[in-house]
Amino acid sequence: MIIQLAADSGEPIYQQIAGVIKEQVHRGSLKPGDRIPSSRDLAATLGVNRTTVCLAYDELRRSGYIQSHVGRGSSVVGANGQRWLKGGQESEVNWDSLLSTGMLNLTRRIPARDGAAPRAWLDFSRLIPDQTLFPVKPFEGILKGVIRQRGAALLQYGPALGLPELRALIARRMQRWGIQATDEEVIIVNGAQQGMDLVFKALINAGDAVVVESPTYSNILPLLGFYQARVVGVPMTAQGLDLDSLRSVAARRSPKLIYTIPNFQNPTGICTSEAHRRQLLSIASEFNVPILEDGYEEDLRTSGKNVRPIKAADRAGRVIYLGTFSKGLFPGLRIGWIVAHRTLIETLGAAKFSTDYHTSLLLQAALTEFISQGHYDRHLKRLQKVLARRLQLTLRSMKEYFPRGARWTLPAGGYSVWVTLPPGVSGRQLALDARHQGVLIAPGEHFFQSSEDSGSFRLSVSTVSETQIRQGIQLLGKAIAAQAPPQSLRGGVAELPHV
Amino acid sequence: MIIQLAADSGEPIYQQIAGVIKEQVHRGSLKPGDRIPSSRDLAATLGVNRTTVCLAYDELRRSGYIQSHVGRGSSVVGANGQRWLKGGQESEVNWDSLLSTGMLNLTRRIPARDGAAPRAWLDFSRLIPDQTLFPVKPFEGILKGVIRQRGAALLQYGPALGLPELRALIARRMQRWGIQATDEEVIIVNGAQQGMDLVFKALINAGDAVVVESPTYSNILPLLGFYQARVVGVPMTAQGLDLDSLRSVAARRSPKLIYTIPNFQNPTGICTSEAHRRQLLSIASEFNVPILEDGYEEDLRTSGKNVRPIKAADRAGRVIYLGTFSKGLFPGLRIGWIVAHRTLIETLGAAKFSTDYHTSLLLQAALTEFISQGHYDRHLKRLQKVLARRLQLTLRSMKEYFPRGARWTLPAGGYSVWVTLPPGVSGRQLALDARHQGVLIAPGEHFFQSSEDSGSFRLSVSTVSETQIRQGIQLLGKAIAAQAPPQSLRGGVAELPHV
C-alpha cells in the first residue's frame, strides 16, 4: 500500500491517510477482505505518530470501509465498503441525515394555512392585513401603466440595492418619522423577514448573543436558531422592554444585536415612550451594541400622538431600521426596506446580490408609482379608521365578556392585543377549546423562546369584522371562564395601561 | 468585589467573571483608577483555576475595561471603559468590525452596472437575455387579467413552497426532460440564485467540501464563501467535468455536494453526453454525495439532440435540480424552482418560510398563465432561432478574425462561448484593452476560485446584434494579436469539439 502525504495540503494527515485508503478501495486495488497494515506498522512506514494512523482507521471504520478484530488486525469490508448500496440496489438518500447544524436548529414548522382563513372562522390568530380592504383597483391601473411604459427594462435584471426611485421615495418618507436618511442608506428587500435574514447573515456568528423582547415576533426565533445565535429574552413590561434587565444582560452577555419593536409590539401591542426609546439607545451606545428596530406597523397608529422611532435619535449609525409594506398594504408584494449606516447597506447589498440578486423591479416600480400618486396614504387613512373601530370594539367586548382576573393591553394602533389569563388558565388549552367553537387565537407560547405553555394569548383584530369581534370575544370569554378555577376569577378586571 | 458564579448557566466561567466586572464598571461601583484583585487572589476567593481568571482579565483588557502594569496589578480604565465614546461625543459605529465570519468570506463585489449596457457598447460580458426580444405585450395582458380576477388573494400572504398551480405546471413540464416529479417535489424560489442559497442553508456546514467545475458560475463562489465551504474545483475538459479527478476528490475529500452545469456550462458552453452524466451520477452514488444540477439554460438548445438531465436518471432522490426563467424569459420576475426529494423540499420550504416567507404570488400566477397559454414556448422558439444565428456568426467570425493559437468551444446552445487565448496572452489585459475599444468581455479569472489571471475569456452572445458580433469579434481579434508574442501565433486555428 503506497501512501504519499502532502505536508502543505492544509488537510490533516489522518484525513489524507483515510482518503488514500478510501480511494484504493473504490479503485479496486484494495478488495473486500484484504488486510490493511497494523496502525503501528503504517505509522512506522509513514514516519507519523501512531495516534494519527489510529484516527484515520477510526474514520474508515465509522464510514464503513474497514472492520477490525482483536488479534486479527483490520481488513476491508465487503461490497466495496458501500453500506448505502443494499444488494446492488441503490436505496434512497437519507436527506435528514445530511442537514446542516443551522437547519437542525431551525424549528421546521410551516403553518398549515397560508393567506386568509375561510370567512366562517372567527380568525383572531394571524397578523395579516384584511384583503377585503385592499386597494386592488388603483394598483391594477398603475401596474398596467408601468409595464406599458417600461416593461422590458423592468423585466430585466436590476440593481441589488433596489430601484433608485423607490429608495429615494423611502428616504423621503422616513423624514415623516424624523429619520434623516439619504438614498444610499436604503436597501429594498423582500419584506422585513428577508431584511432580518440579510442582517443576520452580515452580523451573526454561531454563539453570538442576540437580545429579543420576551415575548417577541415568533418567526424571528427559528431564523436566529438557524444562525445558531444564543437568544437572550428580556422581559416586556407595560412600558416596553425592561431596561434594567437589558442593562444587566448587555453588561454580562456582550450581545451582538438588540432586536426591538417599539411600536405596537408583536405580540403585546405595547408602544414605548420617547423617553424609553432614548434610554434604550443610550444603553446600546454605552455597551456598543447595534439595535435592530422593527417598524413593521409604524403606519398603523389609530390614537394618540406619533412617537419617533429610535432611529430618529441615532447619530452614530447604530440603529438598523426595518420597514415593510406587508402590514399596511400588500404582503404579496414581498417588499420591505432597511435604513442603516451606508457601510452596512453596502454590505447588505453584497449579501442580497449573492442571495437572490434583487427584488422584482416591476413590483418596485408599481409600488413607487402607487405611493407617489397618494394611493398608499389614502388607503392608510381608511385602514386606520377601520382598525380604530375594531380595536375599540374589541376592548369594549373584552370588558363585557371576559371573566374577572383576565388582563389585557390597550394598544394605540396595530393589530395585536395581548391577553393575560386568570391564574391557572392555559393559553394552549384555551386555543384548542376556542378552535372547537370556530375561534382562532395565537397562544402565548408561540412568542416565547421556551415554547412553554403560558397563561396568555395574542388577539389579532386584523381580519375580523365587527360582528365577528363581538361573537368571537363572547365565545372566548365563555371558554376562559370554563377553564378558570373559581378563586382565580376574583378581583376586578384589570387593564394594563398603554403608553 | 462580589462575584457569584452560576455553574449551570452554560456560560464559560471566565466570561461570567468578565461580565460581572463589566457590569460593576457600568453601574459605577467600580470607578476609573480602582484596583482590581490580582488573578491569584481572585482565583483563591472564587475557588477557580487561576488560568480562568487570567482569561477573564485578558478579555477585559482587550475590550478596554482594565489596564495592567507589571508590579502594580490591574486597574479600571478611565471614562467608564468606554473607548467608543470620544470626549463624551459618540463616534460612528464601525460596521466593518462587526461583520460575521461568513460575510468576511463573501467577496463583496457588486457589479457597477445592472441590467443591459447602453447599446453603444459591444457587450459580450454578461449572461442576461436580450430585452429587445422580451414578449412584454402578452405578459402585460395576462398580468392584467390575473390581477382583475384574483387580485386581492394574490396580494395576500401565500404558501412558502409556491403557488400550487405553478408547482403543478413545472412538475408537468419537467416530464419533457424525462424527469418524473410530483408537485410535492417542487418548490418555487426567487431565481436559481436563491435556490442555491436555500440548498446551502439546508446542507452546508463551515468546512464542508463542495465540488464545483473549474471554471464555474462566478456568483456561486462568494455564496460558498459565505457558508465557509471548502471549494474544490475539478477541471473541465472538452467533455465536461473530469471524471477521474472527480472520483479521486470524492474519495479523498468526502464532499458534501457536487455542483454541476451539464448543459451549456457557464462559462464554457460545454454540454455533456448522456454517458458522462450517467458516470457522474454513478460516482456520486458510489460516494453517497448529493448532486446540485444547474439547468439554467435547459431551454436554450439551438442544435443537436436534447440530452436528458442527470435528474432524469436519478432513482435515489440524490439530484437537486435547479431551474429558472431568468435566461429564457424575464430575469426581473425573479422566479426559479427546485425539483428534489420530497423530504428535502419540505426542509427547503421551512428555510424559505423563515428567509422571506414566499415568492410574489401575483408574478407566480401571471407566469403560470403565460406558460399555460403557450406564450413561453412560442417565445423560446423565436429566441432559439435568433440565438442559433448569433452563435453561428460568432463562430464564423472568430475563425475569420481571431489569430492562430486561439481556441474556443462550439456550443450547441446557450449564450456562452469560451475562448482560450494564445500562450502568453492575458485574459485580464485583453478585457481592459477591449474595453478601450468599446467591447466588453468577461475575463477567465472571474470563473476560477483562485481569481488569478488566466489566458481565457467568456464571450456571451445574449445581447449582441449580428452587426455588433462581426464588429466586436474583429476588434477582439486585433486586440489579441496585438498582445500575442509572435511565436504563439503559429499553428492552425484549433476548435475544441463540442459534444
The partner residues of B123 in beta bridges, in order of sequence, read: B440
**Mean pLDDT of chain A, nearest integer:** 90
> Is residue B118 within 8 angstroms of chain A, CB to CB?
no
Find the length of chain A: 499
Q: Give pLDDT tens digits for A144-185.
A: 999 999 999 999 999 999 999 999 999 999 999 999 999 999
CB contact under 8 A, B100 and A317: no
Question: ipTM for the complex?
Answer: 0.84
Query: Would the CA dihedral through B110, B116, B117, B118 be positive or negative?
Result: negative
Identify the closest residue of chain B to A64 by CA–CA distance: B287
Does B403 score more than 80 pLDDT? yes
> Is residue A330 within 8 angstroms of chain B, CB to CB?
yes
CB contact under 8 A, A152 and B160: no
Q: Which fold has domain B122-128+381-495?
A: Aspartate Aminotransferase, domain 1 (3.90.1150)
Comparing B407 with B51, the larger pLDDT belongs to: B407
- List the alpha helices (DSSP H) in B357-408: 361-372, 375-401
Separation CA B389–CA B395 (nearest Å): 10
Does B499 score more than 60 pLDDT? no
Does A38 score more than 90 pLDDT? no
Does B428 score more than 90 pLDDT? yes
Domain coordinates in residue numbering, chain B: 13-86, 122-128+381-495, 133-377
Cell numbers describing residue B484 = 500575442
Could you give the C-alpha distances from A150 to B36, B153, B315, B331, in angstroms and in order? 68, 26, 45, 15
Identify the closest residue of chain B to A248 by CA–CA distance: B23
According to the model, what pLDDT value does residue B452 have? Answer: 86
Are B193 and A153 contacting, i.e. CB atoms less than 8 angstroms apart?
no
Residue A185, SS3 per DSSP? helix
**Mean pLDDT of chain B, nearest integer:** 90
Query: What is the arithmetic mean of pLDDT over B322-333?
Result: 97
> Is residue B384 within 8 angstroms of chain A, CB to CB?
no
Q: Give pLDDT tens digits for A314-325.
A: 999 999 999 999
pLDDT category at A497 given cuts 50, 70, 90 is very low
- List the alpha helices (DSSP H) in A107-260: 136-154, 164-174, 191-203, 221-226, 243-253
Identify the closest residue of chain A to B219 by CA–CA distance: A354
Q: Give pLDDT tens digits for A334-383.
A: 999 999 999 999 999 999 999 999 999 999 999 999 999 999 999 999 99
Identify the closest residue of chain A to B3 by CA–CA distance: A252
Angle at B366 between CA B364 and CA B367, to 5 degrees: 65
> Is residue A29 within 8 angstroms of chain B, CB to CB?
no
Comparing A49 with A429, the larger pLDDT belongs to: A429
> Is residue B253 within 8 angstroms of chain A, CB to CB?
yes
pTM: 0.84
Query: Residues 92 to 111 of A: which have CB under 8 A from any B CB?
Result: 92-93, 95-96, 98-103, 106-110
Of B191, B226, B360, the CB nearest to A357: B191
Query: What is the arithmetic mean of pLDDT over A411-424?
Result: 96
Does A307 score more than 90 pLDDT? yes
Does A275 score more than 80 pLDDT? yes
Q: Give pLDDT tens digits for A211-249.
A: 999 999 999 999 999 999 999 999 999 999 999 999 999
Could you give the C-alpha distances from B408 to A23, A70, B417, in angstroms and in order? 34, 59, 7
Place of cell 507589571: B70
> Is residue B6 within 8 angstroms of chain A, CB to CB?
no
> Is residue A79 within 8 angstroms of chain B, CB to CB?
no
Q: Which fold has domain A133-374?
A: Aspartate Aminotransferase; domain 2 (3.40.640)
Does A14 score more than 90 pLDDT? no
Query: What is the arithmetic mean of pLDDT over B156-183?
Result: 97
According to the model, what pLDDT value does residue B111 have? Answer: 60
Q: Give pLDDT tens digits for B196-254.
A: 999 999 999 999 999 999 999 999 999 999 999 999 999 999 999 999 999 999 999 99
Q: Give pLDDT tens digits for A64-89.
A: 788 877 667 888 876 444 444 444 45
Q: Give pLDDT tens digits for B9-45.
A: 667 788 888 888 887 877 778 888 888 888 888 888 8
Q: Which fold has domain B133-377?
A: Aspartate Aminotransferase; domain 2 (3.40.640)
According to the model, what pLDDT value does residue B13 have? Answer: 82
Pick one of 1.10.10.10, 1.10.1040.10, 3.40.50.2300, 1.10.357.10 as the CATH number of B13-86.
1.10.10.10
pLDDT category at A427 given cuts 50, 70, 90 is very high
Place of cell 424560489: B189
According to the model, what pLDDT value does residue A87 have? Answer: 44
Pick one of 3.40.50.720, 3.90.1150.10, 2.130.10.10, 3.40.190.10 as the CATH number of A122-128+378-495.
3.90.1150.10
pLDDT category at B108 given cuts 50, 70, 90 is low
pLDDT category at B493 given cuts 50, 70, 90 is very low
Of A11, A100, A201, the CB nearest to B226: A201
The architecture in CATH of the region A13-91 reads Orthogonal Bundle (1.10)
What proportion of chain B, given as a percentage, has pLDDT over 70?
Answer: 90
Does A26 score more than 50 pLDDT? yes
According to the model, what pLDDT value does residue B79 have? Answer: 46
According to the model, what pLDDT value does residue A84 have? Answer: 44
According to the model, what pLDDT value does residue B87 have? Answer: 44
Distance from A92 to chain B by nearest Cα, in Å? 4
b (16+ CB within 10 A) / e for A364-392: bbbbbbbbeeebbeebbeebbebbbebbb
Does B129 score more than 90 pLDDT? yes
According to the model, what pLDDT value does residue A483 have? Answer: 92
Query: What is the arithmetic mean of pLDDT over A469-491?
Result: 87
Nearest to A299 by CA among A340, A259, A341, A336: A336
> Is residue A153 within 8 angstroms of chain B, CB to CB?
yes
Q: Is the N-terminal amide bond of B215 cis, ω within 30° of 0?
A: yes
